[in-house]
Chain A
Amino acid sequence: MKLDLIQPFINAADAVLSEMLHQPVEIVDLAMQQPTDPEGAAASISLDGDIEGNVVFAIDPKAAMAIAGAMNCDVTSADAVVDVICELANLIVGNAIVALNDSGFQFTVHPPQPHATNSCADHDSEAVLMRFDAGGTAVLMNISMRYCRAAHA
């Protein structure tokens, strides 16, 4: 997977998480590996078009509640935590996609879904796993994507 596919997601995660968590964000780990399922609550967003693949986004449920609380939104149920995580994933992926669109790529973004455990197991593609730290809050993003421009030319 090429860096020009990954960099917009890094930039978007940095910008969105810094703003939502009111903390500077740091990448503490970045590795290429087989896609893996994150622990705990997670959301995934799939793309198809010139670029296809999916992004899995996981954040500690307590951190999701803290983000919601900072926006004066009470989040108590597990479903509501997943909803917050889905929306954060949506914000990050959406912002990354603006940069990719500006580079000339055309694709469709599907709505975020709660990530089902073991759904990464069948993927034979390589993924980039990123861990961010925002003032002690761990955020994990797993990006698995490839170019499909020829198929859509």
Chain B
Amino acid sequence: MTFAPLLRSKDQQPFRYLIVDDSAFARRNLARIVESFGGKIVAEASDGAVALQQYTQHHPDIVLMDVTMPNVRGIEAVEMIIKKDHNARIVMVSSVGSQDNVVLALQKGARHFVQKPVKPEVLYEVLRYVLADLLAKAHVAAGAQP
């Protein structure tokens, strides 16, 4: 499956991503998927505390955030990032997609929740939804091509 690149409307540049997951393998896998959408990985973090530092330093367009991590967990990290930047766009990406986690993450300011294992076509549609107002118009109508 190929995906029409998701580009920013303001400058037609790739969206900039921060990927947060304690597993290097999971980060690499997510990075590979995001790059297939035309995205650019500007930073990675292995826990919530590092995620906050990286967010402050890089101001990514979007954060993909795991839930279960050592030290500062994903939902706490969402709260910390949203305190710093109310407009932060954070999508939770976790295998623990229980109703409580989803509701709590959304209450703390996350925009969406994607269950692992990540299906690229599902993540793509979620990103198109979450980034809709920033997407270059030509790419709003386009979607995944079988």
Binding site for B on A (CB under 8 A): 16, 19-20, 68, 71-73, 75, 80, 83-84, 86-87, 90-95, 97-98, 101-102, 106, 109-112
- State which of A73, A75, A83, A95 has its C-beta within 8 Å of the C-beta of B32: A73
Q: Point out the residue from A75, A94, A106 that lies within 8 Å of B97, measured CB to CB.
A: A94
Q: Are B95 and A71 in contact (CB under 8 A)?
A: no
Given contacts A19-B117, A72-B32, A101-B98, contact A94 B25 (CB under 8 A): no
Q: List 24 A-B contacts (CB under 8 A).
A: A19-B117, A20-B117, A68-B25, A71-B29, A72-B32, A73-B28, A73-B32, A80-B25, A83-B25, A86-B23, A90-B23, A90-B95, A91-B116, A91-B117, A94-B94, A94-B116, A95-B116, A97-B98, A101-B99, A101-B100, A106-B100, A110-B68, A111-B69, A112-B23
A36 smallest CB distance to B (angstroms): 25
Contacts of A19 in B (CB 8 A): 117
Which residues of A have CB within 8 Å of B24?
A: 80, 83
CB distance from B106 to the nearest CB of A (A): 16
Count residues of chain B with CB under 8 A from any CB of chain A.
21
A84 partner, pick from B25, B97, B117, beta carbons under 8 A:
B25
Binding site for A on B (CB under 8 A): 22-26, 28-29, 32, 68-70, 94-100, 115-117
How many Å lie between the Cα of A95 and that of B32 in the bound state? 22
CA distance A111 to B66 in the complex (A): 11
Complex CA distance for A45 and B39, rounded to whole angstroms: 32
Chain B residues lying within 8 Å of A75, measured Cβ to Cβ, are 25
Known: A19-B117, A71-B32, A106-B100. A93 touches B95 (CB 8 A): yes
Given A101-B98, A109-B68, list of 11 further CB < 8 A pairs?
A73-B32, A83-B23, A83-B25, A94-B94, A94-B95, A94-B96, A94-B97, A97-B98, A102-B99, A110-B68, A111-B22
